Structure 1
Amino acid sequence: MPSELETRQHLFNQPKAVWAVCFASIIAFMGIGLVDPILPAIAAQMNASPSQVTSLFTSYNLVMAVAMLITGAVSSRLGIKWTLLAGIVIIAAFAALGGASDSIGALIGLRGGWGLGNALFVATALSAIVSLSTVGTAKAIILYESAIGLGISVGPLLGGELGSISWRGPFFGVSILMALAFLLLLFMMPKSKQTAKKKTSLADPFRALKHRSLLILGITALLYNFGFFTLLAYSPLVMEEVMGLDAHGLGYVFLGWGLLLAFTSVFVAPKLESRFGTVTSMCAMLVLFAATLLAMGIWTSTGWLLAAAVIVAGAFLGNNNTLITTAVMQAAPVERSTASAAYSFLRFLGGAIAPWLAGKLAERYNPHVPFLVGGGFVLASVLFILANRRHLRHIGQASSAH
């Protein structure tokens, strides 16, 4: 049996193309956390309500959810490399246009365009890393999740630093970094030998959801993403109000959140999976995340607790992200890209509704309610898994084989 050190060395001994895709993934996922530290500044300078500001996540996730349905059809015709490059160009263009916008309505719309680029990139990046990696599917997923975690953690830091100068800075910063990622992939990633032998149709993701296990995981992700994006989109507004945190302060809080997310996704989730199984570990992490949101809902006016809860939640989400992505790749006998597209469609639907809903609940009731509702949805995801666990039995058997 190889030692843990040898396993890690093997994990990080990858072709240059894999690292190029990972780097581009980090920048692409900056887009999720990038706007967190500047949400209060955007609200103040554009005279926007909480539901309008949180809609920057809603438009982004809604377009990304719908666009996920076409990613397989596009990549099977253009090939992985050119689909990735197309996604990068779209992200760079809409990020730059967002930085130049002058109204909250325009910014919400442009974030939707950014979501289109992210859909093309994200769905294809996982397939690219898995196909180019030399360490097998399970470890390739860990690399992908670590790139996501680093992107989500660096995003708020970059957003905080550039946002302290102007809220427009983070948008222009991502546009420049994506241009760099474009050049790296253009020259470091090998040309696709050919497009897919079998062209993927627009109906394939819906056909994939006929597999009960994949549908269950997709609905689970839809439910827990209510909690995920309540934390991500709404908590910055509350921390600014309660603690008086500026873009710098919010950036550091979410940096801690993202670093824990990245660390646990790479180093902790595989151990949990090996010891307790994928589904059991997933349920445990979701229960802990729900408890964190409920605590935030009860003690919303306690600033230090809010900040600590956001950071600690990163650990539960990092573990869960790797566990559920691993489960999705094993859930149904379909192409990985098709499974990813079908699952992501449902996942990002939850991410689209949750931010807007959190803003509306805060406007209509009080700051406590969005966290309580988000925690309730996460608990519902656990109950849904437990009620349908018999359809996920093969996932534990598959994971033990890796």
Structure 2
Amino acid sequence: MGIGLVDPILRPIAEDLGAGPSEVSLLFTSYLAVMGVAMLGTGWVSSRIGAKRTLLLGLADIIVGAGLAGLQDTVGAIVGFRALWGLGNALFIATALATIVSASRGSVAQAIILYEAALGLGIAAGPLVGGALGGISWRGPFFGVSALMAVALVAVWTTLPEADQRPRPTPLSAPLRALRHRGLLTVGVTALLYNVGFFTLLAFTPFPLALSAEGTGLVFFGWGLFLAVASVWVAPWVQRHVGTYRGMVGALLGFAAVLAVMGVWTEQRAVLVAGVVLAGGLLGVNNTLITETVMKVSPVERGVASAAYSFVRFSGGAVAPWLAGRLGESNAHVPFWVGAAAVVLSVVVLRTGRVFVAAAFAAEDEEAERDARDAPETVARP
């Protein structure tokens, strides 16, 4: 919800503080850059203080960063506290994904669907709350994020049990070493390139959309709702009937096509609204499939794989919001075309690692078949 709360107020912040799109977009750039680099240290921290304490530390950082950002009077100061927010997000996101997968009683796929569904529902609800608070003041959503993270902190503190065993300490170099695995690096670079399109949609679209905070919130509510539905129901169907690799390629090419259409008809508000909502469904499918792939494509621990993957996609994609804002100040069409081109390039990169994706899921299928063959037959009793 914290991600979606801020999106409806990008334009009001620019108008109130006299800033352009490229300056306001630095709220995303500082957040993503710090979060990406900090991902390298999440495994080192969580393996020493435990997953629960790492989650609590991350939430506390977000509470402080978001609250102080809402008290500032310059874009530069807000950007600075968004960086602190990004540090907290890094500690939380990488640890949360690994914790959910480890704690789940079902398969990795089921755990990831749960994770993506929670993200999707939060992203859907966030713009509604952010739009309502932003209609009062652009500072409201920042304080709203602090309040939400305080609730999350209490929830984690009171409901998440401590691990039975202390984890083996992870060296700082583990995520970088993990990227030597060709499959993990390929998926990470794929995500980096598609994030250029993703953050163009998220950080730049509110400017040509030219709606109030409430109106922007409603549009991105539709985006997040479609993302959640696609993550939970559409992505598993696509995986069963089309396959993981083909499903990712189809979702990415569809997203590129949507961005291209938005680039051609940027002045048409109805096209932008439809494009944002439709992109949510395509992103929901891709997010679920690519996250599951990250958890399976390399032999390293899941927490290390998540951190390595997130480092590549977030730190590399940090330039996208600023670039979109800068290009959009000269021509509002160009950011969408650049985003579409980057997403198409992500498909080219993904194709080079097709064999690793296939091998990861083939090994799981063979293991499931072997378990089914080895399982003792049960005899029905009256």
Q: TM-score, normalised by structure 1?
A: 0.89
Q: CA deviation at 1:185?
A: 1.1
Does residue 291 of structure 1 match 2:253? Answer: no
- Matching residue of 1:369: 334
- Matching residue of 1:259: 225
Instruction: Specify which of 168, 171, 187 is matched with residue 217 of structure 1.
Output: 187
Question: Are the equivalent residues in 1 in contact too, given 2:175–2:308 (CA < 8 A)?
Answer: yes
Instruction: Specify which of 347, 352, 355 is matched with residue 382 of structure 1.
Output: 347
Instruction: Specify which of 274, 288, 311 is matched with residue 277 of structure 2.
Output: 311
Question: Are the equivalent residues in 2 in contact too, given 1:274–1:400 (CA < 8 A)?
Answer: no
Q: Which amino acid aligns with 2:260?
A: L
- Matching residue of 1:235: 205
- Matching residue of 1:330: 296
**Inter-partner Cα distance in structure 1 for 2:146 and 2:209:** 28
Aligned length: 367
Q: CA deviation at 1:398?
A: 4.2
Decide which structure has the larger Cα Rg and report it.
Answer: 2
Q: Which amino acid aligns with 1:247?
A: A
Does residue 72 of structure 1 match 2:43? Answer: yes
- Alpha-carbon distance change, 236 to 251 in structure 1, aligned in 2, over 3 angstroms: same
Q: CA deviation at 1:133?
A: 1.5
Matches within 5 A, 1:98-137: 98-137=69-108
- Matching residue of 2:378: none
Q: Which amino acid aligns with 1:330?
A: K
| Post-superposition CA distance 1:57-94 (Å, at most 9, x none) | 11110000000000000000010100000001001111
Q: Which amino acid aligns with 1:393?
A: A
- Matching residue of 1:168: 139
- Matching residue of 1:16: none
Q: CA deviation at 1:350?
A: 3.6
Question: Are the equivalent residues in 2 in contact too, given 1:227–1:375 (CA < 8 A)?
Answer: yes
Question: Are the equivalent residues in 2 in contact too, given 1:279–1:396 (CA < 8 A)?
Answer: no
- Matching residue of 1:14: none
Does residue 280 of structure 1 match 2:246? Answer: yes
Question: Are the equivalent residues in 1 in contact too, given 2:200–2:324 (CA < 8 A)?
Answer: yes
Question: Are the equivalent residues in 2 in contact too, given 1:57–1:351 (CA < 8 A)?
Answer: no
**1:344 aligned counterpart, secondary structure:** helix
Instruction: Specify which of 129, 153, 162 is matched with residue 182 of structure 1.
Output: 153
**Inter-partner Cα distance in structure 2 for 1:221 and 1:215:** 10
Identical amino acids, percent of aligned pairs: 56
Q: CA deviation at 1:216?
A: 0.3
What are structure 1's unaligned runs of at least 5 residues? Answer: 1-29
**Inter-partner Cα distance in structure 2 for 1:103 and 1:194:** 46
**Inter-partner Cα distance in structure 1 for 2:5 and 2:264:** 27
What are structure 2's unaligned runs of at least 5 residues? Answer: 369-382
Q: CA deviation at 1:254?
A: 0.1
| Post-superposition CA distance 1:328-347 (Å, at most 9, x none) | 00110010000000000111
Instruction: Specify which of 320, 333, 340 is matched with residue 354 of structure 1.
Output: 320
**1:156 aligned counterpart, secondary structure:** helix
Does residue 95 of structure 1 match 2:48? Answer: no
